[in-house]
Amino acid sequence: MTVKTILVYLANDGEAERRLATAAALARRLSAHVTALYATAPAQMPAAITGRGASAAYIGEAMAIAREKADQFRALVAESSRQEGVEMEMHVVDGEPIEVIKAESRFADIALVGQNPAMTVDDVVSLHPMEELPLMAACPCLVLPHGRPAPASIGRRALIGWKNSHTTARALHAAVPLLESADSAVLLAIGKAGSDPSAEAAATFLRRHGIPVEVRVQKGDGDDAGATLLATAASIDADLLVMGAYGHTRWREMIFGGATAHVCRHMTLPVLQAH
């Protein structure tokens, strides 16, 4: 289990430099390559724009802005590669961001993206791309919280939200490279009180990789699992949360609630998700 290609998504959200710096730090630590990605989404006509000439002028202006931003990101990536001593390349692709990231994720070990700056009712109904990405990406996603600096070394103190499922197992496997230098890790199983054989088996798997891990079993159910995970992460001062993404259908979680939806809305630390 190694990470050799880190895909980092750059967007006009004020967080691009922070994500790129985090990707560079991870690449140095893991001896990995960074692929920086910028998607130039097709321009959508505002309702007030009418007429062929007006439409052409609007599209031309939008394309010029996109090209200018792409050039700025190219310069940022080149400078970051030089300063950090990390091999980086820049991909500028025309298309909708979610589709572009999904395609590029086929050639990466991990995709580094940002949390939504806000989760309004409109965001939920419109299925914001970044919330949908763990379902669609070919590799696990490391989501950074909006407006917060990433820890210097993600994974020193980790919380693993354990559930005996395929999605959680995928996240666990993906987390191993980030946890191999961990000082401590807590594997938390939320469900019936008492022992959980699958949690003990997961802990044994991690210990064989040299990862110190403590198993905790806490009584609860899916209705409060997300809040419990974030509260526990805060209590142990975790700098990484590892969890499976969307155990139920995404519509069910976004409308009726669920651990993934709650974490996506309220996360304050990096979250590694896989589906």
Q: What pLDDT digit, counting tens, does each position of 223-256 carry?
A: 688 899 999 999 999 999 999 986 555 544 544 3
Based on the fold, state whether residues 36 and 139 are members of the same structural domain. Answer: yes
Phi, psi (deg, nearest 5) at residue 245: -110, 130
Based on the fold, state whether residues 172 and 221 are members of the same structural domain. Answer: yes
Based on the fold, state whether residues 41 and 120 are members of the same structural domain. Answer: yes
Among residues 122, 138, 161, the alpha carbon closest in space to that of 267 is found at 161
Among residues 216, 219, 227, the alpha carbon closest in space to that of 258 is found at 227
- Structural domain tally of the chain? 2
Q: What is the pLDDT of residues 30-47, one digit of tens each?
A: 999 999 999 987 555 455
Q: Which residue has the higher pLDDT, 78 or 262?
A: 78
Based on the fold, state whether residues 112 and 9 are members of the same structural domain. Answer: yes
Q: What is the pLDDT of residues 201-229, one digit of tens each?
A: 999 999 999 999 999 998 876 668 889 99
Based on the fold, state whether residues 169 and 241 are members of the same structural domain. Answer: yes
Q: What is the model's pLDDT at position 122? A: 45
Confidence at 97, pLDDT banded by 50, 70, 90: confident
Q: Are strands 141-144 and 271-274 parallel, antiparallel or unpaired?
A: antiparallel
Round to whole Å and give the CA distance between 137 and 275: 9
Q: 151 in a domain, yes or no?
A: no
- Which residue in the block uniquely carries the two structure tokens 């949390």? 115
What angle do helix axes 166-179 and 197-207 make, rounded to 10 degrees?
30
Q: 93 in a domain, yes or no?
A: yes
Based on the fold, state whether residues 17 and 140 are members of the same structural domain. Answer: yes
Based on the fold, state whether residues 118 and 166 are members of the same structural domain. Answer: no
Q: Report the run of H or E that residue 76 belongs to, with start and end.
A: helix 52-84
Q: What is the model's pLDDT at position 119? A: 47
Q: What is the model's pLDDT at position 45? A: 45
Q: 21 in a domain, yes or no?
A: yes
**CATH number of the domain enclosing 209:** 3.40.50.620
Based on the fold, state whether residues 181 and 235 are members of the same structural domain. Answer: yes
Question: Domain end: 100, 119, 144, which one?
Answer: 144
DSSP, collapsed to helix, strand or coil, labels residue 40 as: strand
Q: Per-residue pLDDT for 99 more than 80?
A: yes
- Host domain of residue 134: 5-144
Q: What percent of the chain has pLDDT over 90?
A: 59
Based on the fold, state whether residues 212 and 242 are members of the same structural domain. Answer: yes
Q: 189 in a domain, yes or no?
A: yes
Q: Are strands 33-40 and 88-94 parallel, antiparallel or unpaired?
A: parallel
Question: Domain end: 86, 110, 144, which one?
Answer: 144
Phi, psi (deg, nearest 5) at residue 3: -115, 115
Query: Is the separation of the CB atoms in 39 and 12 below 8 Å?
Result: no
Question: Domain end: 93, 110, 144, which one?
Answer: 144
Q: 152 in a domain, yes or no?
A: no
Instruction: Please tell me the pTM assigned to this model.
Output: 0.86
Based on the fold, state whether residues 108 and 54 are members of the same structural domain. Answer: yes
Based on the fold, state whether residues 138 and 161 are members of the same structural domain. Answer: no
Task: Provide mean pLDDT across the span 187-208.
Answer: 90
Q: 34 in a domain, yes or no?
A: yes
Based on the fold, state whether residues 9 and 125 are members of the same structural domain. Answer: yes
Q: What is the model's pLDDT at position 42? A: 59
Q: 209 in a domain, yes or no?
A: yes
Q: What is the pLDDT of residues 106-130, one digit of tens each?
A: 999 999 999 876 544 444 444 444 6
Q: 150 in a domain, yes or no?
A: no
Q: Per-residue pLDDT for 79 more than 90?
A: yes
Q: Per-residue pLDDT for 168 more than 50?
A: yes
